[in-house]
Structures are given as C-alpha cells and as structure tokens.
C-alpha cells in the first residue's frame, strides 16, 4: 500500500481504499482487485491517441469494477516509503509535458529495438514518478507501454516479465538509474 496523510480515498480509520464492493479488509480487496483487473486485461484495451486522455481511459478500463475514481487523477499527496510521488497540483502539467514529448518523439516509432527500450524506459520512469492515480499505476503503466510498443513495431511478450526484477528496475529508475529498466524492457521485446 501507499503512505498518505488524511486519505479521503480510504475508509475512515483504515488504509483500505474505498471500493465498489465495499470491502473493508485489505487482503480481500487485493483478491477482488486482482480478479476484476485480470478479467479487464483479457478484454481489448481502449483505443486512443496515446495521450493523457487515452492513459486515463486505460486506467478506468482496468479498475472500473473496483474503484469509483478509476481513471481520475489523484487529489492527495502519496509516497511509498521515503519516496514521494508528484504532488497532485503538478500532475496535470507534468502529464501534458510527458505526453507532448511522446508525441514529438513520434510515439517511439522508427527506433531500433535497443533505442526503443531506452526511450520507453525513460517514458515509463517519468510516468511512474508522476503516479497519476491513487492506486493501480503500475498496471496502467505496463498496459499503456505494451500498446505503445505494439504501435512502434516492438511487440511485448508479458509472459517473459519477471515481476520482482521489473519492480526492482522501476525503483532504480525512480532513483535516477534507468539502465536496469531499459534492460528489463528489452528482454520483453
């Protein structure tokens, strides 16, 4: 879970996120969330223009059965351990800048596999640092990058994904070292 101060997304006196099923236990919520998002991952993801709106639509699609705020930018400050994510008052601006850069970079098309992995790692690291949603950022990020890779001609094989290694690479990228993330992405292409 994330650390947050005075979290209106959680049931009073708990760290359990308010959810459509009104589940009040963290473990049960994790199981419910996994079941619902797994089902939504099996469906076609929303088509779009690889924009902020498209990214939000992907999050909404994945978490629509779980959270009423699915696809909506978070309104509180959150951190994981000592690492604070983008402050909510800056999220919209940072997302617009990041996605404008993606558009300017031709959505990472016409790149070698190696260059794609490096640039996709940078994009993913920045998107993770922004952490636009209260929860479910990692899954939305991966889904978006999979679609981006497909469009760029570098399809991803998620069966090769090793969650612990990928998470370690994401943490390293948050701390400024994107090499491990580029390496992990390259293994998936």
Average pLDDT over residues 63-77: 97
**Position 90 pLDDT exceeds 90:** yes
Query: pLDDT-derived band of residue 6, with 50, 70 and 90 as boundaries?
Result: confident
pLDDT of 81: 85
Domain range 3-188, its CATH number among 3.40.190.10, 3.40.50.620, 1.10.3290.10, 3.20.20.105? 1.10.3290.10
Say which residue, 3 or 159, is predicted with more confidence.
Answer: 159
Q: pTM of this prediction?
A: 0.94
21-60 in b/e burial notation, b at 16+ Cβ within 10 A?
eebeeeeebeebbeebbeebeeeebbeeebebebbbbbbb
């Amino acid at each position: 879970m994330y650390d947050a101060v005075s979290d209106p997304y959680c049931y009073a006196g708990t760290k359990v996120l308010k959810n459509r099923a009104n589940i009040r236990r963290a473990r049960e919520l994790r199981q419910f969330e996994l079941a619902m998002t797994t089902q939504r991952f099996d469906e076609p993801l929303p088509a779009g223009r690889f924009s902020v709106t498209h990214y939000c639509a992907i999050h909404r699609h994945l978490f629509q059965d779980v959270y009423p705020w699915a696809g909506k930018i978070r309104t509180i400050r959150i951190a994981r351990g000592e690492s604070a994510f983008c402050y909510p008052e800056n999220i919209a601006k940072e997302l617009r800048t990041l996605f404008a850069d993606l558009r300017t970079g031709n959505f990472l098309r016409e790149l070698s596999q190696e260059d794609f992995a490096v640039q996709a790692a940078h994009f993913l690291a920045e998107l993770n640092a922004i952490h636009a949603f209260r929860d479910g950022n990692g899954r939305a990020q991966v889904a978006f990058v999979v679609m981006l890779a497909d469009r760029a001609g570098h399809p991803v094989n998620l069966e090769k994904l090793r969650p612990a290694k990928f998470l370690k690479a994401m943490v390293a990228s948050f701390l400024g070292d994107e090499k491990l993330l580029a390496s992990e992405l390259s293994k998936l292409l």
